[in-house]
Chain A
Amino acid sequence: MTRRSIFPAIVTWLVLFFFYVPIILLVVNSFNLNSYGTAWKGFTLKWYTQLFVSDEGRAIWRSLYITVVVGALATLGSTILGTCAAFALHRYKSTLQNIHYTLIYTPLVLPEILIGISLLIFFASIHMPLGMTSIVLAHITFCVSYVTLAVLSRLQDFDMSVLEAARDLGASNWTTTWKVLVPIILPGILAGALLAFTLSIDDFVITFLVNGPGSTTLPIQIQGMIKRGRSMPLINSISSILLAITFLALLGSKLLMKTRPKK
Chain B
Amino acid sequence: MEEFLKFDGVTKQFGHLKAVDDVTLTINRGEIFSILGPSGCGKTTLLRMLAGFEAPDTGRILLAGEDITDQAPNVRKINTVFQTYALFPHMTVRENIAFGLKLRKLPKATIDQEVDKMLAMIQMEAHADKKPAQLSGGQKQRSAIARALVLKPSVLLLDEPLAALDLKLRQRMSLELSLIHDEVGITFVYVTHDQNEAMSISDHIAVMQNGKIEQVGTPAEIYEAPKSSFVAAFIGDTNFFDGTITCVLDSEYCEVEVPDLSKKLICFNDKKLVQGDSVHLSIRPEKFSISLDRPAENPRQNVLPAKVEDIVYQGDHTRYWVSIAEDWRVAVTRQHNRFLLDQRRITWGDQVFISWQADDSFMLEQYREKDEDLLQMPPQNVGEEVPGAAVTAPEPSDTSVAPADGQATGQEEASQQ
Please report A residues at the B interface, Cβ cutoff 8 Å: 1-2
Chain A: interface secondary structure? loop
Q: How far is it, in angstroms, between the C-alpha of A92 and the C-alpha of B353 when the chains are bound?
A: 70
Residue of A nearest to B70 (CB): A1
Question: Closest 7 A-B residue pairs measured CB to CB?
Answer: A1-B55, A2-B53, A1-B52, A2-B73, A1-B72, A1-B54, A2-B52
B:41-59 near A, CB below 8 Å: 52-55
Residue of A nearest to B69 (CB): A1
Residues of A within 8 A of B73 (CB): 1-2
Q: How far is it, in angstroms, between the C-alpha of A2 and the C-alpha of B53 when the chains are bound?
A: 5
Residue of B nearest to A1 (CB): B55
Size of chain B's interface in residues, with CB distance under 8 A? 7
Residues of B within 8 A of A2 (CB): 52-54, 72-73
Contact with A along B63-85 (1 / 0, CB 8 A): 00000001011000000000000
Chain B: interface secondary structure? loop
Please report B residues at the A interface, Cβ cutoff 8 Å: 52-55, 70, 72-73
Q: In the complex, what's the smallest C-beta–C-beta distance from B159 to chain A, in angstroms?
A: 15
Q: How far is it, in angstroms, between the C-alpha of A221 and the C-alpha of B196 when the chains are bound?
A: 75
12 A-B pairs with C-beta separation under 8 A: A1-B52, A1-B53, A1-B54, A1-B55, A1-B70, A1-B72, A1-B73, A2-B52, A2-B53, A2-B54, A2-B72, A2-B73
Residues of A within 8 A of B70 (CB): 1
Q: How far is it, in angstroms, between the C-alpha of A2 and the C-alpha of B72 when the chains are bound?
A: 7
Q: In the complex, what's the smallest C-beta–C-beta distance from B397 to chain A, in angstroms?
A: 37
Q: How far is it, in angstroms, between the C-alpha of A1 and the C-alpha of B53 when the chains are bound?
A: 6
Q: In the complex, what's the smallest C-beta–C-beta distance from A2 to chain B, in angstroms?
A: 5
Residue of A nearest to B51 (CB): A2
Q: How far is it, in angstroms, between the C-alpha of A1 and the C-alpha of B70 when the chains are bound?
A: 6
Q: How far is it, in angstroms, between the C-alpha of A101 and the C-alpha of B100 when the chains are bound?
A: 45
Q: In the complex, what's the smallest C-beta–C-beta distance from B71 to chain A, in angstroms?
A: 9
Q: How far is it, in angstroms, between the C-alpha of A2 and the C-alpha of B76 when the chains are bound?
A: 13
Q: How far is it, in angstroms, between the C-alpha of A1 and the C-alpha of B74 when the chains are bound?
A: 9
Q: In the complex, what's the smallest C-beta–C-beta distance from B13 to chain A, in angstroms?
A: 15
**A1-B72, A2-B53 given; 10 more Cβ-contact pairs under 8 Å:** A1-B52, A1-B53, A1-B54, A1-B55, A1-B70, A1-B73, A2-B52, A2-B54, A2-B72, A2-B73
Q: How far is it, in angstroms, between the C-alpha of A1 and the C-alpha of B73 when the chains are bound?
A: 7
Residue of A nearest to B56 (CB): A1
Residues of B within 8 A of A1 (CB): 52-55, 70, 72-73
Q: How far is it, in angstroms, between the C-alpha of A2 and the C-alpha of B73 when the chains are bound?
A: 8
Q: In the complex, what's the smallest C-beta–C-beta distance from B74 to chain A, in angstroms?
A: 10
Residues of A within 8 A of B52 (CB): 1-2
Q: How far is it, in angstroms, between the C-alpha of A1 and the C-alpha of B52 when the chains are bound?
A: 6
Residues of A within 8 A of B55 (CB): 1
Q: In the complex, what's the smallest C-beta–C-beta distance from A1 to chain B, in angstroms?
A: 4
Q: In the complex, what's the smallest C-beta–C-beta distance from B45 to chain A, in angstroms?
A: 13
Q: How far is it, in angstroms, between the C-alpha of A48 and the C-alpha of B54 when the chains are bound?
A: 56
